[in-house]
Structure 1
Amino acid sequence: MVEILGHHHISMLTKDAKLNKDFYVNKLGLRMYLKSVNQDDPSMYHLFYGDEVGTPGTSLTFFEIKPMGQTYKGTNSISRIGLLVPNEESLSYWKSRFEELGVDHDVIGIYNGMMALHFRDHEGLEMVLLPNDDRKVPKAWQNNRYTDVPKEHQIMGMGPVEFKIEDVSEMKNFLENDLNFELVDSESELLYSIDLDGLYSDIVLKEEKGKRERPGKGSVHHLALSVADEDELNKVKELLDEKEVVHSGIVDRDFFKSLYYRHSHILIEFATEGPGLPYNDVEQLGQQLDLPGFLEPRRAEIEGNLDPI
């Protein structure tokens, strides 16, 4: 059985890196801890936001694709991202902040039986803030000293991630029998977790018929699930090989190793917790363009093709 530790990161598409940075740093109070490029196409930025040092489970990442058009929402997609805040008082803080900063949001309501504040970024990406209260979170998660959001209300990390799928039966089987997720609730949607004491690994399955989503700006590219190390990643590879399904094989991303697999039209990445970012000075994270070793010889060319942000 593959051992999943929780969410690792989630990756989206944006049309404008500058506006993207403004929203996630200046409005949501996250740290841009890594500024890099798409390793498969270094002509585009890959921006990473999260806690102070980009701990797995806190990271929202974005690929900048300037010609990107509008998202046409539909099924077979990752449709909503949950973000955890400390408590219900934090929801009131964020509602006031959103009103002040002009962020599109709803009134405080309910999501999966919890108090919740739904909101959207400047490109229509659907998100929801949820109070973590006394539930468990990974010990490595940190606060961010580099924001004006008070420590007691900062976004902590990723919570439930919502999938819309035409037929959820195969995804249910994959989560339960291959990845050891447990069914938490089946009242309205199917809520799965690897840790019933926390929200940091939750996946929500919604069965929805209709047209498939056509991705564009503000759509989700993939969800990455966290595994401990390369040995555990090899277990994922062996599992998928036994099923005789197509996958990427193990890919070295420099900061971690990954394997990609598309299930029910949704791209899932499995990523190792380490080695993580090599850094000596926390204050300098995200200030310079970080490149993986194999792209370093092309630094001048790559930087010349990117607009400064």
Structure 2
Amino acid sequence: MIRGHHHISMFTKDLKENNHFYTGILGLRRVKISVNQGDTGMYHVFYGDMTGTAGNDLTFFEIPNIGATHKGTNSISGIGLLVSSYDSLLYWRDRLDRFNVKHKGIGEYADRDALVFEDHEGLKLMLINHDGGNIPDDWNPWDDNGIEEAHRILGMGTAEITVENKDSLVSLLENVFGYTLVSEDGTKAIVQAAESEVFGEIQILESSGNKEKPGRGSVHHLAIQSAERPLGEWDRILKDKGYVTTGVKNRYYFNSLYFREDNGVMIEIVGAEARGFTADASVEELGTKLDLPSFLEDQRNEIESRLRPIEEWT
């Protein structure tokens, strides 16, 4: 019922540092520069593979006056990125050292070899050994980045969610969205959208204590993609179960709806069909200019007047 991850969205204080980290250090492609459709004075920037394929995109809203994150429970607390092999982890350990990115060394995460580190704003990231496993046919890792071909980031892997009530989230993902529970041990559970495939995997950690106060480097929402079911049906199903949804939103590149699960974590469901980022830009020019959905195009001059020029942060 769910194909897997679609994208994941975060907050950043400064796109210049953010752009350097995700393109210059991690070697992702900046595939779209747009705006927050609810606040068009705020950039919304996407990083991913060659065309920003579903399951690859890390997206950021820039809020220059945002404060620090106070980490806690009821949050999306980590993002896994897949690499091909254990040798890739060794390559990335050395690369992170060269760029003075602190990390925890190669260890284990979600029952796989992994390298856990944080970005420049404290966002927890995990490079996970995919051990030569298959990736979706439409994924196309970016190659114009100075990263050795064998070690490029392939796409998103395990997403980590920390909540007060693990069982309620596991139940939602299993019984409503059709995820498979593959392991459970006390305060930890792992579910998969596609059985035995890590690119739709979620590790759920149960933790009491203070709830997270979002800030720079925190995650706003995880987006998952419907395999076939129309968004209108998801909207009805969720409302019938007592969830409050936003209703279906036209995001131009795709349609989606949002809701909060019982612990308060925001989840977005993206429709099965999507235009994608080449709807208004060629593959060659992706991520080089401000792209606006057609319903905002007549406001371009006003929007651009309130944004820092792209040349100042790219």
Is TM (by shorter chain) over 0.5?
yes
Cα distance in 2 for partners of 1:74, 1:304 equals 37
Bigger Cα displacement from structure 2, 248-257 vs 149-158 = 149-158
CA–CA distance in structure 2, aligned partners of residues 107 and 151 of structure 1 = 22
2:161 to 135, 160, 163: 163
Question: Superposed, which structure 2 residues align to 1:43-58 within 5 Å?
Answer: 43-58=41-56
Partner of 1:199: 198
Match of 2:299 in 1: 298
Answer with 141-150 or 26-35: which moved more: 141-150
Quick check: 1:228–1:274 contact (8 Å CA) kept in 2?
no
Cα distance change on mapping 1:95 and 1:9 into 2, 3 Å? same
Please state whether the residue corresponding to 1:149 is helix, strand or coil.
coil
Give identity over the alignment, percent.
Answer: 44
Q: Which of 115, 118, 143 is the equivalent residue of 2:113?
A: 115
1:35 paired to 2:33: yes
Q: CA deviation at 1:302?
A: 1.0
Distance change >3 Å, CA 110–CA 7, structure 1 → 2: same
Partners of 1:137 and 1:236 in 2: CA distance:
27
Give distance in 1, aligned partners of 2:304 and 2:243: 38
| Structure 2 gaps, min length 5 | none
Larger mean Cα displacement after TM superposition, 4-13 or 178-187: 178-187
1:172 deviation in Å? Answer: 1.3
Partner of 1:226: 225
Q: Which residue of 2 aligns with 1:153?
A: 151
- Displacement of 1:244 in angstroms is 3.1
Deviation at 1:197, TM superposition (A): 2.6
> One-letter code of the match for 2:162?
K
Aligned: 1:66 with 2:58 = no
- 2:197 partner amino acid: G
Query: Aligned partners of 1:236, 1:86: CA distance in 2, in Å?
Result: 34
Q: Deviations over 1:102-147 (max 9, x none)?
A: 1121111111221110011000000100011233321110021221
- Give the alignment of 1:1-309 within 5 angstroms: 3-187=1-185, 189-228=188-227, 231-263=229-261, 264-272=263-271, 273-277=273-277, 278-279=279-280, 281-308=282-309, 309=313
Cα distance in 2 for partners of 1:150, 1:187 equals 37
Residue identity opposite 2:295 in structure 1 = F
Pairwise CA RMSD: 1.2
Cα pair 2:116 2:124 within 8 Å, conserved = yes
- The code of the aligned residue for 2:276 comes to G
Runs of 4+ more than 4 Å apart: none
- Matches of 2:89 and 2:132 in 1, distance apart? 15
SS of residue paired to 2:80: strand
Letter in 2 for 1:253: R
Question: Residues 87 and 132 of structure 1 are in contact (CA less than 8 Å); yes or no, is this contact kept in structure 2?
Answer: yes
Taking the aligned partners of 2:115 and 2:235, their CA distance within structure 1 comes to 38
TM-score by length of 1: 0.96
Distance 2:68 2:16 in 1: 18
Q: Which amino acid aligns with 1:299?
A: R
1:234-292 residue CA offsets vs partner (Å, 9 max, x unmatched): 22112112113210000000000010010121000001241212156311101110001
| 1:198-257 deviation per Cα after TM superposition (whole angstroms, max 9, x unaligned) | 10000111110000000000000000001246x522221121121132100000000000
C-alpha separation in 1, matches of 2:62 and 2:6: 20
**Structure 1 SS opposite 2:103:** coil
Deviations 1:9-63 (A, max 9, x none): 0000000011111100000000000000100001010000000100000000000
Does the residue aligned with 2:198 lie in a helix, a strand or coil? Answer: coil
Letter paired with 2:305: G
Which deviates the most, 6-15 or 270-279?
270-279
